[in-house]
Amino acid sequence: MTERLDALRGELRRGALTLAVLAALRGEHYGYSLRRQLLDAGLDIEEGTLYPLIRRLETQGLLESRWEAVDGRNRRYYRLSPAGRETLAALRMEWTQLLQVMQRIEGDSA
Amino acid sequence: MNWIDRYVRQIESCLPDRARADTAAEIRSLLQDSVCAQESALGRPLRDEETFALLKAFGHPLTVAAAYSDQGPLVSTALYPIYRLSLRYLATVLVAAWIVSVVGFYLNDRQPLWLAVGFWDAWQLGMFYTGVLTLGFHLADQSLRRYDLLSRWDPARLPPAAAERAPLLDTATALFFCLAWFVALSQVAATHSLDTLLGRTDNRLDTFVLWLKLQVLLALPVYVVLLVQPHWRRWQRALIIVGDALAVIGAGFALSIGTDRFAAQLQVLHPQSDSVQRVAMVSTLILVVWIGGLILDAANHGRQAWSGR
């Protein structure tokens, strides 16, 4: 039961993950700081899921990145690109509609 | 070399060439950030077991490399069921051919037949064809993705729900008999010429055999496709009908060689025989019955195609 619930919960969260990452990257972050911010907000994402996702979003042109030397080593910083901002706005609208739909469904079946 | 370097090196070896250095540098940076954060929380450098725990939480190098790679599998999940089915057929055919070959080897005074008799040779042959099949599917997969072929599918071309599902055993048997029939027809030393085809050589057998070969060549692809897609489609029935029609035409040409002319030809070929007239008569009867059978078969396929099955 717990395993099944975990799998379903993971599936549910995966859908919202892109939106959360895009929203968090309105400000500039490096990988670890992004993870911390999401964690502080209550979203615990595995590193193996989060970091490849950031790379994919960058490949899709939704994020911009730059390398910066910090304490004698390089660190990659990410932030939303103009296309990413547009996508975030569209996804937010979608998310709001989804919430409303869910509330209606919940209300109907209550 | 520290553990993080080892870990990153391991991931690096599994990454695609074009993004290898950049991705490896990023993963190293991410891990160093995690290490720094933990070390500042603990107020001391990480012990080996703590580094191991951190690396384990990050994931197995193969998993991490796969997550960073945009490469798909060799055969996608869309084609995988057909790929698996094809592999099963290939294995069945190869094992059957090998058994026949081994049996033939012992029945044929230990003279090797057409397939390697040794198990290792047969195994290598199987591996070769498996590789060819896999490569074929991989290339097909690439094309499907590149040209987005699966999204262009036409629901109007779906097989009807009441389609006659061709049982595997029937299809395999038909395919086997087609091949055996073709081999048997090839044993007849008929001249492949237009004159023979049009019945100008006075030899019914040669003329009929050539038309029958054409019929078999049309039927073979039908049964091969039926192995993979066990639903009769209209084009398959059309090919069978065309094949039947060709065989009827061939029988017609053969019959256009009159019984007496054929008997005379037989007499030339077999001067000692005193039964050529009877053989010629029987051949007329066989051809007429054959034509009847072909017409019935074509009518049956035509009826099924007409009714959408």
User: Cβ of A52 and B34 within 8 Å?
Assistant: no
List the A63-70 sheet strands across, edge first: A29-30, A73-80, A63-70
Question: Does B1 score more than 60 pLDDT?
Answer: no
**Ramachandran bin of B132, using left for φ above 0, alpha for ψ from -120 to 50, beta for the remaining angles:** alpha
B46-58 pLDDT per residue, tens:
899 999 999 998 9
- Angstroms from B65 CA to nearest CA on chain A: 9
Mutate to test the interface with B, among A30, A49, A51 (most CBs of B within 10 A): A51
Angle at B99 between CA B98 and CA B100, to 5 degrees: 90
Give the residue from chain A lying closest to B60, CA to CA: A48
Predicted local confidence at residue B271, as pLDDT: 78
Nearest CA-CA distance, residue B56 and chain A, Å:
10
Q: How far apart are CA B107 and CA B175, in angstroms?
A: 25
Task: Identify the closest residue of chain B to A31 by CA–CA distance.
Answer: B30
A64, β-bridge pairs: A79
The alpha-carbon radius of gyration of chain A (Å, integer) is 16
CB B204 within 8 A of CB B256: no
Q: Is B25 on the interface with A (CB under 8 A)?
A: yes
Measured in degrees and rounded to the nearest 5, phi and psi for residue A77 equal -105, 140
Take residue A14 and report the two structure tokens written for it. 């995966």
Say if the Cβ atoms of B64 and A75 lie within 8 Å: no
State the amino acid at position B276 in one-letter form: V
Of A48, A52, A75, the CB nearest to B29: A75
pLDDT tens-digit map of B159-176: 666 556 788 888 989 999
Nearest to B33 among A31, A49, A56 (CB): A31
Structure tokens at B21: 């250095």
**In this prediction, does ipTM exceed 0.90?**
no
pLDDT at residue B115 in the model? 60
Q: Between chains, do B30 and A32 touch, taking CB under 8 Å as contact?
A: yes
- pLDDT > 70 fraction of chain B, expressed in percent and rounded: 94
| Closest residue, chain A, to B25 (C-alpha) | A74
Q: How far is B52 from chain A (nearest CA, A)?
A: 15
Range with top average pLDDT, A52-66, B121-135, B172-186, B261-275: A52-66
Residue B260 sits at the chain A interface (C-beta within 8 Å): no
Distance separating alpha carbons of residues B158 and A14, to the nearest angstrom: 34
Tens of pLDDT along chain A (110 residues)?
Answer: 688 888 888 888 888 899 999 999 999 999 999 999 999 999 888 888 899 999 999 999 999 999 998 888 889 999 999 999 999 999 999 999 999 999 999 887 66
- Among A49, A52, A73, the residue with its CB nearest the CB of B32 is A73
CA angle B151–B88–B103, rounded 5-degree value: 150
Residue of A nearest to B38 (CA): A32
What are the contacts of B8-14 at 24+ separation with CB within 8 A?
B10/B61, B11/B61, B11/B64, B11/B65, B11/B68, B14/B61, B14/B62, B14/B65, B14/B66, B14/B69
Those residues whose C-beta lies under 8 Å from the C-beta of residue B66, and which sit 6 or more positions away, are B14
- A19-23, A69-73, B95-99, B100-104: range with highest mean pLDDT: A19-23
Question: In the prediction, which pLDDT does B61 show?
Answer: 92
Residue B305 amino acid letter: A
B2 touches chain A (CB under 8 A): no
CA distance A103 to chain B (A): 34
3-state secondary structure (DSSP) of residue B172: helix
Q: Which residue, B153, B149, B156, B144, is CA-closest to B234?
A: B156
Please give the sequence-ordered ranges of beta strands (E in DSSP) within chain B, or none if there are none: none
Q: What is the pLDDT of residue B116?
A: 58
d(CA A97, CA B66): 34
pLDDT tens by residue, B56-67: 989 999 989 988
A100–chain B nearest CA distance, Å: 31
**pLDDT over 80 at B215, yes or no:** yes
Q: What does B233-259 look like in DSSP terms, one character per residue?
A: -HHHHHHHHHHHHHHHHHHHHHHHS-H
Q: Output the average pLDDT for chain B.
A: 85
- Closest residue in B to A77 (Cα) is B26
Q: How far apart are CA B289 and CA B53, in angstroms?
A: 82
CA angle B162-B167-B171, nearest 5°?
120
H or E element that contains A68: strand A63-70
pLDDT at B112: 65
Is the pLDDT at B24 greater than 70? The verdict is yes
**Yes or no, beta carbons of B57 and A46 under 8 Å apart:** yes
User: What does the pLDDT read at residue B113?
Assistant: 62
Q: Is A71 left (phi over 0), alpha (psi -120 to 50) or beta?
A: left
pLDDT for B162 equals: 57
Q: Can you give the pLDDT at residue B243?
A: 93
Phi, psi of B153 (to 5 degrees): -65, 150
Contact A75 B59 (CB under 8 A): no
**Long-range pairs for B18-24 at CB < 8 Å and ≥24 separation?**
B19/B68, B23/A55, B23/B68
